[in-house]
Structure 1
């Protein structure tokens, strides 16, 4: 486990953002992910896709963070989807029943396409990249 978590935010539309997560999501770094993602929601992008392809480990605090972000995005009129989920995390999400609440997609492109079909994304994506690097 690492005490470092890096996130990068890419806005793909007026109300949609992809948050790429690199590192472990655990007791030490879960609050960092929560703060970064809640900032994105607070800045008007309640539809979030978490790209988890570079996440090596998630503990119960990390799973709790996903639930908090799901509720926060829904309260803001949006949604949360996770993409690129490593096999170990996919098993945890499935075994705990979180996958029933939180859509899981193979790729970020699949998650964004599903969001378009669900009516969550809008035209006019600005592709602005706002890199946020956090270490703890």
Structure 2
């Protein structure tokens, strides 16, 4: 059974928190890319991407996370991944992307580290 894909956004003093749920794959990655493109980021802010609810992530999903980082860098902001599922943590390590993304257990931890 597949998990329905959804995103939601909350505001923190440091910037947006984007929560992703469900399967992040070739079918849903374009939706996430669109959502990332709609975010307003300013220099010095932090984009937190909460992945706790992600049940599956393929290469399209990873590509979209890289796109999120690129959007943040273009705005002179930072990106952090939080609550990364174990399987995705392993995939990021195997692909050499573990050092590309700072990761934290919670959004609060990412925000504290940024501040």
Cα deviation for residue 101 of structure 1 reads: 1.1
Aligned residues, how many?
113
Q: What is residue 47 of structure 1 aligned with on the other side? A: 46
Task: Give the Å deviation of 1:54.
Answer: 0.6
Note the 1:38-117 alignment, pairs <5 A. 38-40=37-39, 43-44=40-41, 47-116=46-115
Structure 1, residues 14-36: CA drift from partner, whole Å, max 9, x if none? Answer: x5010111111100101111111
Report the Cα distance in structure 2 between the residues aligned to 1:73 and 1:3, rounded to whole angstroms. 28
Secondary structure of the structure 1 residue equivalent to 2:91: helix
Q: CA RMSD in A?
A: 1.6
Whether 1:36 aligns to 2:58 is no
1:4 shift after superposition = 3.6
In 2, the alpha carbon distance for the partners of 1:93 and 1:79 equals 18
Distance 2:113 2:93 in 1: 19
After the TM superposition, list the runs of 4 or more consecutive aligned residues in structure 1 that deviate by more than 3 angstroms.
Answer: 1-4
> Which structure is richer in relative contact order (CA contacts within 8 A, separation 6 or more)?
1
TM-score scaled to structure 2, two decimals? 0.90
- Unpaired segments of 5 or more residues in structure 2? none
> 1:98-132 CA distances to partner (integer Å, 9 max, x unpaired)?
1111111111111111111xxxxxxxxxxxxxxxx
> Quick one: distance in 2 between partners of 1:59 and 1:88?
11
Q: With structure 1 as the length reference, what TM-score do the two structures score?
A: 0.77
Larger radius of gyration: 1
Q: Which ranges of structure 1 fall in alignment gaps of 5 or more residues?
A: 117-136
